[in-house]
Structure 1
């Protein structure tokens, strides 16, 4: 099984059991140890993974770090664990800071079983940074995240390779966070920057600020939609195919008339809203199936989201033709459609469990 498939299996299991995990010890057993195992380290070999590694740090005697991954008898990675879902911040990493200073490990990992934050010493040698350079969410990851995580796997671990890319990762993540904030709420300085050459000699008045803030947000949204559209071209081709509906056989006498009618029908156009929704749905079910198995087929009346490009496996329907009234069609066990109104594309997240349940129903072995 490929590394990414192992992570998907683990993600599915953790997603379905995380509500039952109430203690730190249960988190370590049910979440963290399987994660370390997925990286290729034998959690049952104390020469490779040592639980509760003890070291005297200054005046503190007998302190323990939850797990230390060893190579040739020396720690290379330290794990500090909190209970599932607990808040993670730098105040929870005290033991990691101290252990990082007195051991040869160059990487510290703070985790709550769901999110794994990786630290090293980019700012000052032998002193763990206060900000992680990489973060991995077992319930929400993409292929790029997996490629970065794979560098910590036993078969691929190379200290110099990771440290070489760690600095870029840290600042890339910081810039992405800043850009994401500006997409939602552009700062005045950013609006001034992007509008400066466009205003000419006009003063940057409050009215101009409000106008160009809206324009900047709209430009971000349109640019993102265009980029998504470009990436999806070739991965899907718009087709006028309905989902799980009876096949209608055309009458011979009406064949020429039907042909003429089809030529007069308008072309199917996939809207940015449909593309954004498709991208969102793919992300929501990514822990169950690879993204490429979730396919869009756009039609005149609605846009169908299918598993494996199979109209017998409808995931949902996007009824966005009236952009003032977005509706999401979900299917029950008998494939009857029930429609729900959406205030925005983000509302699709409210139906994540139903979408995952629908996809899961197509993955169940026949006869179960």
Structure 2
């Protein structure tokens, strides 16, 4: 675990900026400890400012690793947003990331982020939106065109998760009244609360199972990577580190290809990450079974090359090579 804010900046923030194609060694492009000329309290600064096309475009404020992100402790972001040309502000602790803009009022940073994700649990939608911040494709208009939709979808998803985990009286009553014939009293609502929660869980489970069944049927058309019987297959367990590595691989590959094309396929000796669920298109392999010695298999050359790594976050050190591999499959069908 990273212990200091400075270590986090070096190990995660700068590598993330590099993966987004910004030159972290050019202080005119990635400006550390940025201070504005006017309208700012003396000595106040933000951790990084990113200049794109000669203008300050993105502000980044870093907090201690795993510290809760609270805008009360990032007031300088608000002030800098209003006195610079920046259209986007980022608040992060290295793992959790929040992206802000000015959808509600011009030149005034919104209170609610339009994009949030955890780097160790990033989904394909967030990875795709993050890829829009790459230097080579950076387009303020294109990002803003989806920011409003993302902002409210994110808020709705958060609210729905809360309702699914702990259904409110209103949520229970909304569905209960549609199927209960009598008076929907407080006692009836109390009876329905666990039923609604269980029903939500079963609907989600059924939909996940349907997707898995569809994926398994699709896999039967692919050549098997290893001849593993069902008994051996059931013994394979994908670890949290392997899932973290997969999510990071998706985020990196999103610079080049649609992140939905990247899938995970675990094997007995390694955990593979494939493009198009095709074992002839390996993106990388994670040899994480040993608690002391770990390797990453890379495929940007003619044959697989194994390099030593310590943790999933080390994948960012090889972002360029992973992207080079993804580039080979970019136009594949």
TM over 0.5: yes
The answer as to whether partners of 1:244 and 1:314 remain within 8 angstroms in 2 is no
Secondary structure of 1:47's partner? coil
- Displacement of 1:179: 1.0
Say whether 1:88 aligns with 2:69. Answer: yes
Say whether 1:285 aligns with 2:239. Answer: no
- For residues 165-314 of structure 1, what are the structure 2 equivalents within 5 Å? 165-200=146-181, 202-236=182-216, 241-243=230-232, 281=238, 285-289=242-246, 292-294=263-265, 307-308=266-267, 312-313=268-269
Distance in 1 (CA, whole Å) between partners of 2:31 and 2:125 is 29
The answer as to whether partners of 2:295 and 2:306 remain within 8 angstroms in 1 is no
State the partner residue of 1:320.
none
- For residues 74-85 of structure 1, what are the structure 2 equivalents within 5 Å? 74-85=55-66
Unpaired runs of 5+ residues, structure 2, are 221-227, 250-261, 272-286, 298-304, 309-333
Q: Deviations over 1:116-151 (max 9, x none)?
A: 111111111111112211113221112222101101
The answer as to whether partners of 1:117 and 1:132 remain within 8 angstroms in 2 is yes
The answer as to whether partners of 1:57 and 1:63 remain within 8 angstroms in 2 is no
State the partner residue of 1:144.
125
The answer as to whether partners of 2:99 and 2:115 remain within 8 angstroms in 1 is yes
State the partner residue of 1:132.
113
- Displacement of 1:61: 2.8
Secondary structure of 1:75's partner? strand
- Displacement of 1:287: 2.6
Secondary structure of 1:235's partner? helix
- Displacement of 1:234: 3.2
Cα–Cα, structure 1 residues 191 and 85, in superposed 2: closer, same or farther, change >3 Å? same
Distance in 1 (CA, whole Å) between partners of 2:241 and 2:76 is 35
Q: Deviations over 1:138-191 (max 9, x none)?
A: 211122221011011112211111111111111101111111111111111111
- Displacement of 1:314: 8.7
- Displacement of 1:34: 0.9
Distance in 2 (CA, whole Å) between partners of 1:25 and 1:172 is 33
Unpaired runs of 5+ residues, structure 1, are 1-18, 246-277, 295-306, 316-354
Distance in 2 (CA, whole Å) between partners of 1:244 and 1:189 is 44
The answer as to whether partners of 1:57 and 1:99 remain within 8 angstroms in 2 is no
Q: Rg bigger for which structure?
A: 1
The answer as to whether partners of 1:79 and 1:110 remain within 8 angstroms in 2 is yes
Distance in 2 (CA, whole Å) between partners of 1:240 and 1:33 is 44
Q: CA RMSD in A?
A: 3.1
Secondary structure of 2:243's partner? coil
The answer as to whether partners of 2:29 and 2:52 remain within 8 angstroms in 1 is yes
Distance in 1 (CA, whole Å) between partners of 2:99 and 2:184 is 43
State the partner residue of 2:4.
23
Distance in 2 (CA, whole Å) between partners of 1:144 and 1:283 is 21
Distance in 1 (CA, whole Å) between partners of 2:41 and 2:193 is 53
The answer as to whether partners of 2:62 and 2:93 remain within 8 angstroms in 1 is yes
State the partner residue of 2:20.
39
Select which of 83, 91, 102 maps to 2:83. Answer: 102
Q: Deviations over 1:63-120 (max 9, x none)?
A: 3221111122211100111222222101121111110000010100011111111111
Cα–Cα, structure 1 residues 59 and 140, in superposed 2: closer, same or farther, change >3 Å? closer
The answer as to whether partners of 2:29 and 2:51 remain within 8 angstroms in 1 is yes
State the partner residue of 1:268.
none
Q: Deviations over 1:314-368 (max 9, x none)?
A: 98xxxxxxxxxxxxxxxxxxxxxxxxxxxxxxxxxxxxxxx96469868677899
User: Alignment length, in residue pairs?
Assistant: 261
What is the TM-score when the length of structure 2 is the normalising length? 0.70
